[in-house]
Structure 1
Amino acid sequence: MHWFRQIFMTSDGGTLALDWVENAKVKKQAFQTNDALQRDDKNPIIIIIPGLTSESNTPYVKHLAFNMANRGWNVVVSNHRGLGGVSITSDCFYNGGWTEDVRKVIDHLHCQFPQAPLLAVGTSIGANILVKYLAEDGINTPITGAAAICSPWDLLICDRFMNRRLVQKFYNKAIAIGLKDYAHLHEAVLSRLTNWEGVKKSVSVRDFDDSATRVVGNYETVDTYYKCSSSSNSVKGVTVPLLCISALDDPLCTSEAIPWDECRLNTNVVLATTEHGGHLPFFEGLTAKSVWWVRAVGEFFDALQSSSLSHRENEVSVSSVNALDTSIDHAPYVHVLQNGMISAVGEEVAEIGILNKENVDQDKKEEDTINAEQEKVSTEIDLIQPQKIVDIIAPVKKRLNQLSRQNRKSMWLLAYVAIVTTWPVVGPALSFFLRRRFRNLFSPASVKR
């Protein structure tokens, strides 16, 4: 695998690093000497939007990029402003709700390679940005399919969650250190745009956002920034097939923030939750050499590309249906139980769906021919998507079952390793505590009594 870099300039003078992955196994060489794809290349392009302070060299991003490239697809990592080794060249830097850079990159790629299907994967804060972008552009987006992995969904709820327990506070401080390192890399620019003294003293993500993010983004308060940047309210506007994967034990993005009902109402969305997985790891097997969600995304995109949903010119999104007229159980939602089984809401209609205009017209004619008593029942039946679309989420369900079984083995192994490695320290301390705690029970005086 080889990386090729393309520098992309935005309309406001910003600089973005687009890192492409060349796959030597692809029969047709996709890259030329100018490190650009051929304009007539028809291979799908996977656009990766990394998480907060992540870039193309981050291990999970590289794993995702190489895995997608091995499937014969072209892959490009859209690094955020100031990341990927490029300088900030404008009075602006990215944040959790900034969709303009993603929009410019996607439009640029669609213009440069009009015959190549575009798919996108967002991770963590990148997933939040991706979902928000898809809703903002609606049917006008050239994206044909997407995946959002471990999205925070509601930044305000996640901010409260990160101050709840010791583990969350540890992560909070660690992320704040990463943000401060990012700021120090671009001190020449950010020191005059932000409350620099506040940035240097930040000990949490909220502190940094209060001193820098909200100031540069012109938000009145941090809570205002969090509310405006959250993607939970944007799910209903997504008009392309979207796979969302979240772990219920995520230490950063709490399950309380997941927009359960909004995902169910939008039949373009598949929401998959797992008991374990943490924030992005989802390690597979005892050796943890692979990441499960990367394979799940690859299989989802494979199924999507082989279906009619990859051609959207004459299609209309079901998400445009009034929420009051739609049953909440008509959207795909899968959850892995502790016994490894899949629990689905409305399983008989748990399908990704975009209704064709011709099908809608035909359904309307059929409704005109039936009597008033059957009209209500018919309306519910019309919302059921074509049976063939069920194949798209079948691989996801399969991998969810596999993950649940493998995670149980991994958890026992990790517990064993943790006990063995910490016992030299924990053992003596525990013994000392127990002796002090129960010494009165076994003292001579207590025995005489």
Structure 2
Amino acid sequence: MATAVEDSAAELLLRAAALVPLERYALAALVLAAAFLYRFLELHVLGDLLRGLRGGRVALTFHPDSQVYHRVAAKCRSLHGRYLATPWLASPHLQTLFLGIWGIPPSVTYRRQLYTVRDGGTIALDWLLASDREAADGSSCDGTISSDDSTPIVVVVPGLTSDSTYVKHLVFSMVSNGWNVVVGNHRGLGGISITSDCFYNGGWTEDIREVVNYLHQKYPEAPLFTVGTSLGANILVKYLGEEGESTPVAGAASICSPWDLLVTSRFISRKLVQRCYDKALAIGLKGYAKLHQPVLARLANWEAITSSRSTREFDHHATCVVAKYETVDTFYRKCSCANYIGNVSVPLLCISALDDPLCTREAIPWDECRANKNIVLATTPNGGHLGFFQGLTAGRLWWVKPVSEFFSALHDSPCMHRQKIQEHGLQSSMESSIDKGPYVNLMEDGMVAAVTNEDTNIHDSLDKRTVSEMEGSDGMINVQQNGSTSVLQDESHSAVKNTNSSEDNVAPAQGLVGSQEQRKELSTDKIRDAIAPVKKSINQLIRSQGRSVWWLAYIAVVTSWPLLGALGFFLYRKKFRNSLPAKRLLRG
């Protein structure tokens, strides 16, 4: 009976479902598919509509006392506005794919220069001069730069595939502002063969170092600015951290940097859509390897390289073998630019999108950027990876304008970096800044001030200088030339030695005794001078704090007396009981 009822209920449901038109089912399927795609593609059309199509606000992260922000970034209108993506590209994945497939780049014609580095490798430098832009308008142009030309030069460090669509947007914008631009293609890219056993990777900074030094030596009057995009941004920031104050770069910009290669590697292997990007990047890397198979097959296992299905596998079989890293994680950790943020001494603008499908927001070093006064970090809610398309026709990239404004304001400000030659090695980014001031000095007014190691070195040098002056007063002069020291006798000593041989053995002894007495007196005076301010400050502290100390002692005695009385009564309660009058009366 129950089975019959159940069958009848199932039949009723099927009949009811059959009564629903097929159009309703198709509509429901479309709604579910749209919801899935909206979630899968991370569309933000509804969010843009709720914000009134104004776009998301640009968030800035910087040090409160940063002169780079107050004098440079504060003048950039794009950094204090909003970014609205192209409506039909309202997705980080759509923006990234559209940039790689189409991108609508401006028409740019480069002048190529082949530069050979010290290890024999060849780099293609693609130039576009401001005079080329003027020549396109009808004026004459010889295509050269004089050595005394002061026109700023922008050096572009491209991403994984070297010169791309987005690079042409940047080049065209900077040349339109009257600046010269050179794109430094990575080794083996740009149609250039590998001419040495060195391949570029995410942490290879030797090429950008040589190119920057070469340009600075050839055009010493031209300020150098650098822009790094994607993997090139990681290389650029790492280079700036390695060089510190000694780099000739006047200003820099980092666009969509991966920051931490280890975190980024784990991110792109986490979800389905990220794994698609990972496979696409691996295919591109294998294509790069096939271009240079004769060299790479001699250095690594070619079969393992061609069978790589992810960037991590490619780095394991190719990058770590050629660059001699122990493991892939070691390579990622050592080559991540986040480790070098603290040493960056150049005004640096960093731009990242929080919805970047390749370089996750989890790798952004927020605190490190906030602690460095030379860095301004700009983040937008949307933009994808290097996309940032604007307008209905997607003809502009938003990040190009902030970079242009930042460089123009920096060029007109005193914050532009000047190269400083350092005698000592760079301080590591992992080294604590507390080590710079391990000592304290008690001032005459009772205040405590830090004394750095540099101050102690200065005092040591002054003491050495005083000793040398004392030795000079005794008739001995130290002359230092080309690292060698020679001792010369004073003319008076030589005259005495030549005129009176009997006094020859006595005068030096007397001079030595006199010099020792002078040294003792000088050291005693130094000790007195050093102790005097300490004594004075201690006396001031005693006079000013004496009354407070007595009040504290009085309060301590008054407040602790009941506790001490109770404790004494508890410890000696038997003696107190035996000494009570009632006990004596009972005994009597």
Same fold per superposition (TM over 0.5): yes
112, 118, 126: which one aligns with 1:19: 126
CA deviations on 1:102-130 (whole Å, 9 max, x unpaired) are 00000000011000000000001100000
SS in 1 for 2:212: helix
Q: Greater CA deviation, 284-293 or 94-103?
A: 284-293
Residues 29 and 94 (structure 1), Cα distance of their counterparts in 2 relative to 1, 3 Å cut: farther
Match of 1:222 in 2: 328
Write the deviation string for residues 172-215 of structure 1: whole angstroms up to 9, x where unpaired.
00011110111111111111112211111111101110110111
Pair 1:221–1:32, CA change in 2 (3 A): farther
Look up the match of 1:188.
294
Give the aligned CA root-mean-square deviation in angstroms: 3.0
Residue 202 of structure 2 is aligned to residue 96 of structure 1? yes
Instruction: Give the 3 Å change call, closer, same or farther, for CA 215–166 of structure 1 in structure 2.
Output: same
Tell me if structure 1 keeps the 8 A contact 2:248–2:418: no
Secondary structure at 1:104's aligned position in 2?
A: helix
Q: Tell me the SS of whatever aligns to 1:309.
A: coil
- Name the one with the larger helix percent: 2
Task: Provide the residue aligned with 1:121 in structure 2.
Answer: 227
Letter in 2 for 1:298: S
Instruction: Call closer, same or farther: CA 1:372–1:31 in 2, change over 3 Å.
Output: farther
* Distance of 1:30 and 1:20 partners within structure 2: 18
Distance in 1 between the 2:418 and 2:124 partners? 30
Take 1:96 and 1:315, find their aligned partners in 2: how far apart are those partners?
27
Q: Does structure 2 retain, via aligned residues, the 8 Å contact 1:22–1:30?
A: no
Change (3 A) 1:4 1:140: same
Q: Give CA-to-partner distance per residue, 1:277-321, whole Å, 9 cap, x none.
A: 11100111232110011111000001000101225368999x99x
Letter in 1 for 2:187: R
Matches of 1:169 and 1:136, distance apart in 2: 32
Out of 273, 276, 284, the residue aligned to residue 170 of structure 1 is 276
Classify 1:168/1:30 alpha carbon distance in 2 versus 1 (closer, same or farther; 3 Å): farther
Aligned to 2:396: 290
Which residue number in structure 2 is paired with residue 273 of structure 1?
379
In the alignment, residue 163 of structure 1 is paired with which amino acid?
Answer: S
| Equivalent residue, structure 2, for 1:403 | none
How far does residue 371 in structure 1 lie from its aligned partner after superposition?
Answer: 7.9
Of 125, 149, 161 in structure 2, the residue corresponding to residue 53 of structure 1 is 161
- Report the equivalent of 2:149: 41
CA contact (8 A) 1:5 1:20 kept: yes
**Residue 77 of structure 1 pairs with residue 191 of structure 2:** no
Mark the CA change 1:313 to 1:253 in structure 2 (over 3 Å): closer, same or farther.
closer
CA displacement, residues 235-274 of structure 1 (integer Å, 9 cap, x when unaligned)? 0000010000111101111111111111111010001111
Of 312, 320, 323 in structure 1, the residue corresponding to residue 418 of structure 2 is 312
How many residue pairs were aligned?
332
In the alignment, what sits opposite 2:116? Answer: 9
Using the TM superposition, give the Cα deviation of residue 369 of structure 1 relative to its aligned residue in structure 2, in angstroms.
Answer: 11
- Quote the Cα distance in structure 2 between the aligned partners of 1:184 and 1:113: 37
TM-score (norm 1): 0.69
> 2:354 aligned with 1:248, yes or no?
yes
Which letter does structure 2 place at the counterpart of 1:44? Answer: P
Alignment-mate amino acid for residue 116 of structure 2: M
Could you say which residue in structure 2 is the equivalent of 1:423? none
Q: 1:293/1:371 Cα in 2 relative to 1: closer, same or farther (>3 Å)?
A: farther
1:345-384 residue CA offsets vs partner (Å, 9 max, x unmatched): xxxxxxxxxxxxxxxxxxxxxxx899849x99xxxxxxxx
Q: Which whole-Å deviations, capped at 9, do the CAs of 1:75-112 have from their partners, x for residues lacking one?
A: 00000000011000000110000000000000000011
Per-residue CA deviations over 1:383-406 (Å, capped at 9, x if unaligned) read: xxxxxxxxxxxxxxxxxxxxxxxx
In structure 2, distance between residues paired with 1:10 and 1:117: 22
- Counterpart of 1:380 in structure 2 is none
Aligned to 2:562: none
**Residue 38 to residue 98, structure 1, CA distance change in 2 (3 Å):** same
Deviation at 1:220, TM superposition (A): 0.8
Contact kept, 8 Å, 1:32 with 1:38, in 2: the verdict is no
Corresponding residue SS for 1:308: coil
2:223, 2:250 within 8 Å by CA — same for their partners in 1? yes
Whole-angstrom distance in 1 between the partners of 2:139 and 2:318:
41
CA contact (8 A) 2:245 2:421 kept: no
CA–CA distance in 2 between the matches of 1:7 and 1:176? 28
- Tell me the amino acid that sits aligned with residue 10 of structure 1: V
2:504 matched residue in structure 1:
none
Corresponding letter in the other structure for 1:7: L
| Gap change, CA 1:30 and 1:72, over 3 Å in 2 | farther
> After the TM superposition, which residues 324-403 of structure 1 pair with which residues of structure 2 at under 5 Å, given as runs?
372=447
CA distance in structure 1 between the partners assigned to 2:444 and 2:251 by the alignment: 37
Query: 1:279 and 1:370 mapped to 2: Cα distance?
Result: 57
Query: Greater Rg, structure 1 or structure 2?
Result: 2
Shift of the 41–174 alpha-carbon distance from structure 1 to 2, 3 Å rule, reads same
Matched, 1:133 2:233: no
1:30 shift after superposition: 12
For 1:162, the aligned partner's letter is: I
Q: Relative to structure 1, is the Cα distance of residues 219 and 19 closer, same or farther in structure 2, using a 3 angstrom cutoff?
A: same
Read off the aligned partner of 1:108 and give its amino acid letter: Y
User: Once the 2 structures are TM-superposed, how far is the Cα of residue 219 of structure 1 from its aligned partner?
Assistant: 0.3
Q: What is the alpha-carbon distance in structure 2 between the residues aligned to residue 47 and residue 186 of structure 1?
A: 26
- Matched-pair contact (CA < 8 Å) for 2:347–2:417: no
The 8 Å contact of residues 246 and 421 in structure 2, kept in 1 or not, is answered as no
Once the two structures are overlaid, the 10-residue window that deviates more, 17-26 or 210-219, is: 17-26
SS of 2:226's equivalent in the other structure is strand
C-alpha displacement at 1:31, in angstroms?
10
Quote the offset at 1:25 in angstroms.
Answer: 4.0
CA separation in 2, counterparts of 1:15 and 1:158? 29
| Distance change in 2, residues 1:221/1:112 (3 Å) | same
* Structure 1 equivalent of residue 306 of structure 2: 200
Determine which structure has greater relative contact order: mean sequence separation of CA pairs < 8 Å that are 6+ residues apart, divided by chain length.
Answer: 2
Instruction: Measure the CA separation in 2 of the matches of 1:174 and 1:92.
Output: 24
Alignment CA distance shift 1:211-1:70 (3 Å): same
Q: 1:239 aligns with which of 337, 341, 345?
A: 345
* TM-score, reference length from structure 2: 0.53
Given residue 154 of structure 2, which amino acid in structure 1 is its aligned partner? I
